[in-house]
A and B are shown apart, each in its own frame.
Chain A
Amino acid sequence: MKLVTAIIQPHRLDAVKSALEAAGIRGMTVSEASGYGRQKGHTEVYRGAEYTIDLVPKIRLEVLIDDVDTERVTGVISQAAHTGKIGDGKVWVVPVDSVTRVRTGEEGAAAL
């Protein structure tokens, strides 16, 4: 089992969500995050004072999947999140030791 984590532009969330649903992924966790990569921040001006805003708003999306789906899911996410502009985000995958469904107590792939 794998945990796929994607950091994406907030305005791409709907597209990514629909694409994952179309690809048969039935659940995900989404949280608001802030950070920066190569994009760095941006500047805002308040009454003539310029502020450098380092951390920009992002969406952090997490999906637990079966090993065989890894390439398909990362492909779907990066395609749907893509705008071609700097700041599009990243997708990474880490192995998962165990998964338990709280309601039924099912474990492993059955809990996905």
Chain B
Amino acid sequence: MVDTGLTAWMLISASLVLLMTPGLAFFYGGMVRGKSVLNMLMMSFGAMAVIGIVYVLFGWSMSYADQSIGGIFGNPFEQWALKGVFTHGADGFEFTVSDGLPVIVDVGFQATFAMITTALISGAIADRVKYGSWLVFSGLWVTLSYFPLAHMVWGGGLLSDDGPFASIASPVDFAGGTAVHINAGIAALVLVLVIGKRKGFGSEAMRPHNLPFVMLGAALLWFGWFGFNAGSAYAADGMAGLAWVNTTTATAAAIIGWLITEKIRDGHATSLGAASGVVAGLVAITPAAGSLSPFGAIILGLVAGALSALAVGLKYRFGYDDSLDVVGVHLVSGLWGTVAIGFLALDGGLFYGGGVSLLAVQVIIAVVAMAYSAIVTLVLALIIKSTIGWRVTEQVEVAGIDLAVHGESAYETLSARSYSEVKP
């Protein structure tokens, strides 16, 4: 029996999460230099294109098939091209329904998660990679890192209630602290170590070319995140409402946490800091949205904002060019949110008298997710490096990747260009 209220809410949630990836494109696009903004936007749109196809072919099956291969991933052929999600016979379409929700709606909802997770990585390797290599990487990475982690966490695999660690305590990842943010964050770190720095990193000024884009992107992310977190309640009920409120509360607190940190450290509360605080708070509350009180969400958010504000400086100290701070924001706040559940969860949190078993299991799932993603990403990155290669030439990088790779430029820098000849 289809629950139409639930189905309507999940269709809206899926649409909200889809909007996050274009929102991310603008969040990132505003932070790069004007000569590479189109490439940055295109990396997100390219990830949407590739994953929109592979998800229905085998992504859903690898994440949620009944037959699990060692708790790591689902059998990709069991529900190949969504076999079993619907049937079509003499009476037309028949849709499989699970707990009141047609599974085809869940496929749409989950596909948008795979898109945003992969697109998140692109910010770390801005301005310098071949577009084809990025598309190939997107398809391979989502297949070998994201689908397996989604299976491990939500598909009844290794890191779920059915996994070996559940004997310590039931692991909690409400909407994707491990499968989404730790996964993308550690992948970003591995990729920048393999691919290397932008030319001029650390010596040339690479300041954001359009901060209003960054804030607009952060706003779209916040809006879309309601689908991500409240939608992950899989119900239009009080739990969805709690996730919605916790999402907003933690994000609000993270803005304050980031701005206070940078006001003390740098002397200014910046717009880039506020937009970054938004994302840090959203990342941290993602795994915890269903297990904290709004009061707990304030603490979680304040710490997330301050931690990520401090973490974005590490790349200069250690000399890795995580261009748009995917590591500092997503890995750091993703780890914090996942581990903080062990302290702040109303059920089993250390601060609420729950002992250390939940904390221990949260640390374990975070470490397992990190290790798995790091190894898979390293292998993929090295294969691409030694075959089709990652980097555009130095001349292209200096002149701007937009014109060389896409044959377009975002802005008219010379008014004389307006009058140049048009060849139809």
Contacts and interface: CB of A to CB of B under 8 A. Distances in A.
Interface of A: 44-53
Interface string B311-343: 011001000000001001000000000000000
8 contacts: A45-B266, A45-B268, A46-B208, A47-B309, A48-B309, A49-B316, A50-B266, A53-B205
A48 B312 contact: yes
B265 A46 contact: no
Contacts of A51: 205, 207
B344 to A, nearest CB: 27
Interface string B182-214: 000000000000000000000001011000000
Of residues A44, A45, A46, A52, which shows the largest number of chain B Cβ atoms within 10 Å of its Cβ?
A46
The CB with the most chain B CB atoms within 10 A, among A47, A49, A53, is that of: A47
B78 interface: no
A52 B309 contact: no
Interface of B: 205, 207-208, 262, 265-268, 270, 272-273, 276, 309, 312-313, 316, 325, 328
Nearest to B265: A48
Which 6 A-B pairs rank lowest in CB-CB distance, beginning with the nearest? A48-B313, A45-B266, A51-B205, A47-B312, A51-B207, A46-B207
A91 B208 CA distance: 33
Nearest to A49: B316
B262 A48 contact: yes
A50 B262 CA distance: 12
A46 B313 contact: no
Contacts of A53: 205
Contacts of B207: 44, 46, 51
A83 to B, nearest CB: 24
Given A45-B262, A45-B270, A47-B272, 19 more contacts: A44-B207, A45-B267, A46-B207, A46-B208, A46-B270, A46-B272, A47-B273, A47-B312, A47-B313, A47-B328, A48-B266, A48-B309, A48-B312, A48-B313, A49-B316, A51-B205, A51-B207, A52-B205, A53-B205
Chain A CB count within 10 A is highest, among B205, B265, B276, for B205
Nearest to B205: A51
Contacts of A46: 207-208, 270, 272
Contacts of B208: 46
B423 to A, nearest CB: 29
A70 B312 CA distance: 55
A53 B313 CA distance: 20
A47 B325 contact: yes
Given A52-B205, A53-B205, A47 B276 contact: yes
A47 B308 CA distance: 10
The residue among B266, B272, B328 with the most chain A CB atoms within 10 A of its own CB is B266
Nearest to B266: A45
Contacts of B273: 47
Contacts of B262: 45, 48
B278 to A, nearest CB: 14
